[in-house]
Amino acid sequence: MLPLTITIPEQWDELKEEFIPAVHRTIQLEHSLVSLSKWEAKWHKPFLTKTQKTPEETESYVRCMTLTQNVDPEIYKYLSPENIRSVNEYIKDSMTATWFSEEKNKPKGKNSGEQITAELIYYWMITLNIPLECQKWHLNRLLTLIRVCNVKNQPPKKMSKKDTTARYAALNAARRKQFNSKG
């Protein structure tokens, strides 16, 4: 779903004084639960943290995101700062028009300090009956769907005494008016 296409620029060989043609390559990338799972399997740590990734971890995640088949592994060494910036912008993009007005409706785990890993996201998907084909969605869109499911599955909030009293007063006033009654 909406992959990112980046072009890795040609590289100049200083010794031969020529461009290295094999390096010029366009690849498609996908920030998804599948990519996240691959990266966490390799690094044995959660990806979704505020900790800055090393250049090696970043390159590794780009490899995990790659949809294009038969990409020369050497290609990733030539990622430009512009390529990395494009990847980071793509990862941060919400990919949805949905927004939330209250922070308290985040999925379980977000407020508890629980580490969010691929397995936890798969658990949420299974618990909420979200089809597994959604694992290929942009990760932010999938997390938004999980959050929407959590919000919609919550029981309705109980009205406060003040709100209940005001509602009954309004209903009684409307009935009095409708039936021309005083009581």
Q: What is the pLDDT of residues 59-69, one digit of tens each?
A: 999 999 999 99
pLDDT digits (tens, 9 = 90+) for 74-119: 888 888 899 999 999 999 998 988 888 765 545 554 456 789 999 9
Cα(97)–Cα(106) distance, integer angstroms? 16
Which of the four pLDDT bands, split at 50, 70 and 90, describes residue 123?
Answer: very high
Mean pLDDT for all residues in the chain: 87
Closest to 24 in 3D by CA, of 7, 36, 47: 7
Closest to 153 in 3D by CA, of 176, 127, 134, 175: 127
- Look at residue 83 and tell me if it is in a domain: yes
- Look at residue 11 and tell me if it is in a domain: yes
Instruction: Report whether 32 contacts 136 (CB < 8 A).
Output: yes
Torsion sign (Cα): 107, 134, 88, 100: negative
- Look at residue 34 and tell me if it is in a domain: yes
pLDDT digits (tens, 9 = 90+) for 130-141: 999 999 999 999
Cα(44)–Cα(50) distance, integer angstroms? 16
Give 60's strand partners: none
- Structural domain range at position 19: 4-92
- Look at residue 72 and tell me if it is in a domain: yes
- Look at residue 39 and tell me if it is in a domain: yes
- Look at residue 104 and tell me if it is in a domain: no
How many distinct structural domains can be found in the chain?
A: 1
Cα(183)–Cα(112) distance, integer angstroms? 51
For 61, counting Cβ atoms within 10 Å of its Cβ (0-12 exposed, 13-18 middle, 19+ buried), the class is: buried
Provide mean pLDDT across the span 125-129. Answer: 95
Q: Is residue 24's pLDDT more than 60? A: no
- Look at residue 54 and tell me if it is in a domain: yes
pLDDT of residue 102: 63
* pTM for the whole structure: 0.72
- Look at residue 99 and tell me if it is in a domain: no
Instruction: For residue 14, give the DSSP letter.
Output: T
